[in-house]
C-alpha cells in the first residue's frame, strides 16, 4: 500500500467530546449527527463507524446514495435522508431502518408507502410544508409511517433574531398539534446554532452538524490536513514563482514545493494570501495555488525536504485554520470543508 503525501487527520477525541458537549447543552434531547456531504468533508463512513455505538437516535444524510454507503459498510444505525428523494425511490427502498424527509403536500398526495419525517416551513422559506397548510396534512398520512416532524432555522446564530422567535413559536404549535392529534416518535427543529434555544423548543431531538466537527462554535475542530515538503529551491531577487509570475522575490529566497493544490481542496483564493505551518512556523504561500502544487516561502525557516507541512490546522487561532481560511477567501467554513475531496485519505487519530 502506498504512503500518501496528503493525509486528512480526524480527531476521534474532538468528535466525541463535541458530541458530549452538545448532549450536555441539550440534556432533554437526543443528538442526531449530521453526516451529509461526506460528513462536512470529514469522511462519511469514517464518522458513521466512529459514532455507530454512541447514544444517538439516528444519522442524518442528504441522499439515498449516502445511506447506501453507510449500509455497504455494515453499519446498521438508523438513518434519516434529509434531501429530496424521488417518490419512486422511497416506495422501492429495500434498506432497513431508514426514513425519508417529505417537504411538500404534493409528494404526500402521491406517496403510497414509506417511513417519513415531515418537514415544515416555519419561516425559512427554502423548503418544507407551509405552516399555513398544517390542517391539510393529516388526511394524507393514513398510508405512511410518520416517524417524525421537523423544521429548520434560518438564523439561529443570532441570539436576538425576531425570525428565530417566530419560527420557535410556529414550531411549538406544530409539535403540540401532532402530540395531541397524531403522535410521532421524533420532534426535531434545532440545528447546531439553535441548541442555545433548546429550553424553548418543544422537541426531543436536535441535529448537530457543524458543532459536531467543532467549527465556529468554540468547540474543538476535529480536522487537519498534512502534507510534506517535496522540493526546496533557491531563487534570486527579481525572479518569480508560479503561473504568471504573481510573486516576485525581493531578495534571495528559499521556496518550498508542497504537493497540494485546488484539486486537493486548497482554495485558489489563498494564492499569495494564505500560509502553511512547518514545524510550527508560518510559511507564506507564494505565487498561485496550482491544481496539485503550491509553493511557500521558507527563507527564514530551518526546514528540509520531507518535513511535515500543516496545510489546514485544527487550532482556531492559527492563520490556516478553517475559520481563518474562510475569512481570507470571503466564504463560509462550510464551503471550505465540503470541498476537501473524498479521494484524500482520512484517518482517525486519538491524540492531537
Catalytic residues: 36, 243
List the grid coordinates of 269. 483564493
> Do the Cβ atoms of 6 and 346 come closer than 8 Å?
no
Query: Is residue 46 classed as helix, strand or coil in its secondary structure?
Result: helix
> Do the Cβ atoms of 213 and 222 come closer than 8 Å?
yes
Contacts 24+ apart (CB under 8 A), 271-275: 271/246, 272/246, 272/247, 273/328, 274/319, 274/320, 274/325, 274/328, 275/319, 275/320
Task: Tell me the DSSP string of 156-187.
Answer: TT-TT-HHHHHHHHHHHHHHHHHHHHS--SEE
DSSP letter at 122 equals S
C-alpha 170/C-alpha 165 separation (Å) is 9
> Do the Cβ atoms of 61 and 70 come closer than 8 Å?
yes
Amino acid at each position: 500500500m502506498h504512503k500518501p503525501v496528503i493525509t486528512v487527520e480526524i480527531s476521534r477525541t474532538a468528535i466525541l467530546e463535541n458530541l458530549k458537549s452538545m448532549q450536555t447543552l441539550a440534556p432533554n434531547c437526543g443528538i442526531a449527527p449530521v453526516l451529509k456531504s461526506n460528513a462536512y468533508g470529514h469522511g462519511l463512513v469514517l464518522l458513521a463507524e466512529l459514532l455507530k455505538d454512541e447514544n444517538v437516535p439516528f444519522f442524518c444524510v442528504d441522499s439515498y446514495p449516502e445511506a447506501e454507503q453507510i449500509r455497504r459498510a455494515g453499519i446498521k444505525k438508523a438513518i434519516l435522508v434529509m434531501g429530496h428523494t424521488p417518490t419512486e425511490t422511497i416506495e422501492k427502498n429495500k434498506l432497513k431502518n431508514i426514513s425519508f424527509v417529505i417537504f411538500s403536500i404534493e409528494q404526500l398526495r402521491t406517496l403510497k408507502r414509506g417511513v417519513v419525517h415531515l418537514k415544515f416551513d416555519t419561516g425559512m422559506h427554502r423548503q418544507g410544508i407551509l405552516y399555513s397548510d398544517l390542517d391539510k396534512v393529516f388526511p394524507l398520512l393514513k398510508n405512511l409511517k410518520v416517524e417524525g416532524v421537523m423544521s429548520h432555522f434560518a438564523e439561529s446564530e443570532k441570539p436576538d433574531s425576531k425570525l428565530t422567535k417566530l419560527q420557535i413559536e410556529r414550531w411549538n404549535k406544530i409539535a403540540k398539534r401532532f402530540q395531541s392529534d397524531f403522535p410521532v416518535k421524533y420532534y426535531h427543529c434545532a440545528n447546531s446554532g439553535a441548541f442555545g434555544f433548546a429550553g424553548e423548543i418543544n422537541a426531543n431531538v436536535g441535529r448537530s452538524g457543524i458543532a459536531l466537527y467543532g467549527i465556529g462554535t468554540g468547540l474543538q475542530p476535529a480536522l487537519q490536513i498534512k502534507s510534506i515538503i517535496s522540493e526546496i529551491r533557491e531563487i534570486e531577487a527579481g525572479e518569480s514563482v508560479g503561473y504568471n509570475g504573481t510573486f516576485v522575490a525581493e531578495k534571495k529566497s528559499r521556496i518550498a514545493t508542497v504537493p497540494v493544490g485546488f484539486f486537493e481542496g486548497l482554495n485558489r483564493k489563498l494564492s499569495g494570501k494564505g500560509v502553511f505551518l512547518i514545524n510550527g512556523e508560518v510559511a507564506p504561500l507564494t505565487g498561485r495555488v496550482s491544481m496539485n502544487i503550491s509553493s511557500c516561502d521558507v527563507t527564514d525557516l530551518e526546514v528540509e525536504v520531507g518535513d511535515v507541512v500543516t496545510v489546514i490546522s485544527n487550532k482556531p487561532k492559527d492563520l490556516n485554520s478553517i475559520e481563518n481560511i474562510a475569512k481570507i477567501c470571503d466564504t463560509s467554513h462550510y464551503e471550505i470543508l465540503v470541498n476537501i475531496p473524498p479521494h484524500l485519505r482520512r484517518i482517525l487519530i486519538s491524540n492531537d
